[in-house]
Amino acid sequence: MLTEVLSAIHALPTPLASLLAAQLKANQAAGTPACLHASQWQALLTATGLDETALSLALLPVAAAFAHTPISHFKVGVIAQAASGTRYFGANFEFPDQPLGASIHAEQSAINHAWLTGETRLLSLTVNASPCGHCRQFINETPEGQGVQILLPQGRYSLAQLLPQAFGPTDLGISQVLMSASSRPLAPIAGDPLLQQAHQAAGASYAPYSGCLAGVALESACGEILCGRSAENAAYNPSLPAMQSALALAHLQGWDLSQIRRAALVETNAATSQRPHAQLALASLCQAKLDYLRLP
């Protein structure tokens, strides 16, 4: 587990810190160190006597400790509550020597975390700073959209209150939404297993606007593999590319990103391509070569 996360846990009141540390250690062994399952959440409520709101706000420093901010040094933490009851941590991530637009916002990180884990509905986000317009637009792409609840230290708001007269998928004639869109089967490919996993991730990506389905697979120094996929947005700029999706998840899972051994990007032929930016983002963190396949 990240040193910063352990420090944030130990700074909490003893009953909460002890139980949380044990829970996250168990989850780390299972490969999911940055979330709390519904039963674990209930155990925290029972052990501490806190209500849902108080516990969510109390854990924000732990979520923020996952941040990687070499440029701004401003850490934002998010706890996303999925319909399953699991809470997913998210935090902002910045890329050294890259444009600010390459950054991953904390709200994107948390939603991406839940989505990649298989969640299909998002109920609320607890944030330690009011979401920027970029993030409000990204949240609006999820199934609940305007109904998502945003819990801040100063109060609770619906997304409709924070983003009135919103522009979303339906304004562009799109009926599917992020997290609930169906996977698209792509023609199978043979050969490199890493490319095959990126290919599978591409089929599950969300690209209703460009049509560029894209998936990334990363391989760690010890041979572990995880995948990310693109998540487009009706307003275009808040879209999350597949490489950022994968790197955000890898960081939350405690990977040493400088030791990534291999990376693969598979995308479908479209008017856009994620290859140039994927190469730059990867090169800012490690020496791994990007294997690439563009499907017809």
61-115 confidence digits (pLDDT tens): 999 999 999 999 999 999 999 999 999 999 999 999 999 999 999 999 999 999 9
Domain count within the chain: 2
Distance CA 177, CA 175 (A): 7
Is 107 annotated in the active site?
A: yes
Distance CA 57, CA 171 (A): 34
35 falls within a domain = yes
182 falls within a domain = no
* Strands of 35-36's sheet in order across: 35-36, 87-91, 77-82, 122-127, 149-152, 155-158
- Banded pLDDT at 2 (limits 50, 70, 90): confident
Rg value, the chain, Cα: 18
Verify that 93 and 154 share a domain, yes or no: yes
What are the CA-CA distances from residue 23 to residues 16, 20, 27, 284 (Å)? 11, 5, 6, 33
Q: Say whether pLDDT at 292 is over 80.
A: yes
CB 9 within 8 A of CB 21: yes
pLDDT averaged over every residue in the chain:
96
| Residue from 94, 107, 141, 219 carrying the catalytic annotation | 107
- Banded pLDDT at 1 (limits 50, 70, 90): low
User: What is the CATH number for 257?
Assistant: 3.40.140.10
Verify that 198 and 116 share a domain, yes or no: no
The first and second tokens of residue 221, run together, are: 């120094």
Longest dimension (CA), the chain: 57
8 falls within a domain = no
Q: How far is CA 213 from the centre of its chain?
A: 18
Q: Say whether pLDDT at 158 is over 80.
A: yes
